[in-house]
Amino acid sequence: MRFAFRPLSSIPEADHARLADGSFFASTGFLALWRAKGGRPGAWMAEDAGRVAAMLAGVEYGAGPFARFASMPDGCYGGLCLDPGAELERESVSHALFAALERRRYAKVWVFDRQGTIACAPGFATRRCETRLVDISERDWAPPDRKLQAQIRKAHREGIQVERFDWDRHHVRFLALDALTARRQGRRPRYPAAFYGALAALAARDERVVWRWCEREGRPVAAQIYFVERGTLQAWQSYYDKTFSFLKPNQYMRYTLCREMARRGIGQLNLGATPEGAAGLAYYKSRWGGRRVAYASYVRQEPFGRLAEALARSRLHGRRLAQ
């Protein structure tokens, strides 16, 4: 069994749908988003006796010796999608996949395997990642932290209103809120307007994109973006204006969304990975309850990848000195 990378546009729709098996992160809609950020979506595909038997969906970036591959980018999950008929061959398929990735000699490869789909990853470093999963299925669920409960009640008393994000009505103020959030965190906005426009278009046709918006007297207060992956609500991005922190919008938006999703049969909240050293963020997530869950990511980096990262760190340092 040999793997080869195929651009998204060349993958037969029936094969893609069969192997993705309902995964949002492996879906054509989600993969196509990353074109707006300079990515080339596609999948490493394997054929066995004329049938496509396995797929590792992801996104390529860059070119030549600086090309990179992620499955998946920016806090989302990838992993091996395997035809049920090949389940007994998972270890050999995993071995063939990572051998193919090694031969490609990407500057860097990341595979985030939250579902534990990969049996082995020869030639790759295994790194431990961790997220927090919260059971939100109970009818009377609320976060266990009393201070958090009080903040949610305060937001309710303030009468804040949360609504679905609408690109036509909200995008100008949202982009301003995104820029404000980035400045506060000492960075540039992560995504261009074209990416957000594509995401809003996907949200209009796929309910697995959950985008909420809150404003006060015409001014943007907060926005949150979540994805639904295999019955789990996954927190992805959050934006807010600290001027309105007294309203407690982030706490209220998350709580009310969890209640809404539970009514739709979504019984679990994934709070996402926490960067190393972000103790305050880790503590905030712990206040929502749940349990810490570890999973593996697989990484391989070639010399050009290390060079690219060193150059990126140098540019970032230069920008910070110039501020």
Say yes or no: 250 and 163 in one domain. Answer: yes
Pair (9, 59) in one structural domain: yes
Question: What's the total number of domains in the chain?
Answer: 2
- Measured between alpha carbons, how far is 7 from 190 in angstroms, rounded to an integer? 24
- Specify the pTM: 0.92
Question: How high is the pLDDT of residue 274?
Answer: 80
Assess if residue 273 is contained within a domain: no
Residues 252 and 148 in one domain: yes
Taking the C-alpha atoms of residue 231 and residue 8, their distance in angstroms, rounded to an integer, is: 25
Specify the pLDDT at position 318.
54
At residue 306, the pLDDT reads: 63
Q: Answer yes or no: are the C-beta atoms of 169 and 204 closer than 8 Å.
A: no
Whole-number pLDDT of residue 282: 87
Domain-embedded: residue 238: yes
pLDDT at 322: 53
Are residues 169 and 76 both part of a single domain? no
Same domain, 107 and 192: no
Same domain for 220 and 172, yes or no, is yes
Instruction: Return the H-helix or E-strand segment holding 236.
Output: strand 232-240
Within a domain: residue 177?
yes
**Which one, of 232, 233, 234, 235, lies nearest residue 223 by Cα?**
235
* Rounded CA separation 83/73 (Å): 24
DSSP state at residue 243? G
Q: What is the CATH number of the domain that holds 170?
A: 3.40.630.30
- DSSP secondary structure letter of residue 155: H
Same domain, yes or no, for 141 and 124? no
Domain shared by 102 and 168, yes or no: no
* Nearest residue to 130 via CA among 322, 24, 249, 270: 270
Q: Which residues contact 204 (CB under 8 A, 6 or more apart)?
A: none
Look at residue 52 and tell me if it is in a domain: yes
Residue 275 falls inside a structural domain: no
Domain boundary among 223, 251, 266: 266
Characterize the bridge pairing of strands 80-82 and 51-61. antiparallel
Q: 301 and 230 in one domain? A: no
Question: So what's the pLDDT on residue 302?
Answer: 86
Q: What is the pLDDT along the chain (323 residues), one digit of tens a residue?
A: 789 999 999 999 999 999 999 999 999 999 999 999 999 999 999 987 778 999 999 999 999 889 999 999 999 999 999 998 888 899 999 999 999 999 999 999 999 999 999 999 999 999 999 999 999 999 899 999 999 999 999 999 999 999 999 999 999 999 999 999 999 999 999 999 999 999 999 999 999 999 999 999 999 999 999 999 999 999 999 999 999 999 999 999 999 999 999 999 999 999 998 877 788 888 999 999 999 999 999 999 987 656 556 555 565 545 555 55
- Helix boundaries (H) for the chain: 13-20, 28-33, 90-104, 146-158, 167-184, 193-205, 249-263, 279-286, 303-322
Q: How far apart are CA 282 and CA 271, in angstroms?
A: 10
Q: In angstroms, rounded to a whole number, what is the distance separating the alpha carbons of residues 110 and 129?
A: 12
Q: Which domain holds residue 87?
A: 2-129+295-322
204 and 123 both lie in a single domain: no
